[in-house]
Structure 1
Amino acid sequence: MGQQTSPSRQQLVAGAADMIRRRGLNATSVREVAKHSRTPQGSTYHYFPGGKQQLAAEAVRYAADTVAGILAAKLRAGPVEGLEAFLGLWRHIITSTDYQAGCPVLAVSIEETGEERPDAVVAAGEAFTAWSAQLAESMREHGVEQARAEHLATLVVASAEGAVAMCRAQRSTRPLDHIATELIALVGAAIGR
């Protein structure tokens, strides 16, 4: 448990998530994460004996938990509010970093690693599933039939991830703005707003 709460460990995980969302997994090295996190390089091997893949998996879980926490708080007000917060988070990330950062979960899931299913990719799949489940549950609580809620939630997560990638490539928030308009209308209609 002591390792779980160590400031150096937390810095490394947060630093890895930041580097992965900016550069991708393949362009992120353990040495650079230590430097970026302002922690001794030896601490990476102490806290992450599994090396880069272990650190990447924990960085993905960290990012996933951060987004899930924001979603949980905002979904209390309803699915549209949760959706707006989810999309607003991505808008803030891309604009505050001058289109240099996206989603570390997406970055890990699309890169070829040479391994069959490394832990970081498994963690990415779990993140997408968790976010979709949170959104679907909120819609179900607001009267949307289960299958429809699951379909809409998948559409939301997939659209947001794709739009973030497009925004970075185009250096514009237009893709995110466009999907926000349509997704908010769809979810609003589904819950009878």
Structure 2
Amino acid sequence: MSRQQIVAGAADMMRRRGLNATSIREVAKHAGTPLGSTYHYFPGGKDQLAAEAVRLSEEVVTKVLDRKLRQGPAEGVRAFFELWREVVAGNEFKAGCPVVAVAVEEADHPEALKASAEAFRAWSTQLAASLQEHGVARERAAQLATLVIAAAEGAVVMCRAQRSIQPLDDIAAELTTLLETAVAANA
């Protein structure tokens, strides 16, 4: 069992159960690895493991955004929302974003919280840079990027609560139109 598989297992558990309900023991069991191996790889315990799980999630989303933002901000946002649509609907509304799980449950996990803040910043920065490349002023681009990330994460939470993908689809449609309008206004 590799370190990467343990991190992926932790991210999966966090997106399903939240941070507080994800223990090192349960991650080891979920990943099919001896408990001692988990502590060997993560001497910083749950905080270190959670931080690395958040970084893995950040990396996955960053790669999707990198690829799609080359086609423009609206394409990047469509891909961002499609990714969350697959996570939420594909897991019968039982999974969300591990980055959010850490942000709302971070009580004794400062390294994980820092990783969560960095993930949100990274995604916002990527989107803002794409908007700027397409003529949107820096401040407006930053505001729109923050709106997109916050709205997407909120929509994921609403979808899970309502057992419906509709909030995500509605917000994706509105934000895509908003970004297309912002870019067109500067063309």
* TM-score category (smaller protein): over 0.9
SS of 2:92's equivalent in the other structure is coil
Distance 1:8 1:52 in 2: 17
Unmatched tracts of structure 1, length 5 or more: 1-6
Matched, 1:129 2:124: no
Give 1:18-167 correspondences, 5 Å limit.
Answer: 18-113=12-107, 115=108, 118-167=110-159
- Partner residue of 2:7? 13
Contact 1:163 1:176 in 2 (8 A): yes
Shift of 1:112: 4.6
- RMSD of aligned alpha carbons: 1.0
In structure 2, give the amino acid aligned to 1:155. L
Contact 2:106 2:113 in 1 (8 A): no
Matched, 1:188 2:162: no
Deviations 1:55-93 (A, max 9, x none): 000000000111001100110111100000000000000
- Partner residue of 1:4? none
Contact 1:8 1:43 in 2 (8 A): no
In structure 1, give the amino acid aligned to 2:20. N
How many residues were matched structurally?
185
TM-score w.r.t. the length of structure 1 is 0.94
Unmatched tracts of structure 2, length 5 or more: none
Shift of 1:8: 1.5
SS of 1:16's equivalent in the other structure is helix
SS of 2:136's equivalent in the other structure is coil
Contact 1:15 1:37 in 2 (8 A): yes
Distance 2:76 2:23 in 1: 34
Deviations 1:140-181 (A, max 9, x none): 000000000000000000000000000000000111011011
TM-score w.r.t. the length of structure 2 is 0.97
In structure 2, give the amino acid aligned to 1:56. A
SS of 1:144's equivalent in the other structure is coil
In structure 1, give the amino acid aligned to 2:151. S
Distance 2:171 2:125 in 1: 20
In structure 1, give the amino acid aligned to 2:157. A
Kindly, what percent of the aligned residue pairs are identical? 63
Distance 2:140 2:72 in 1: 16
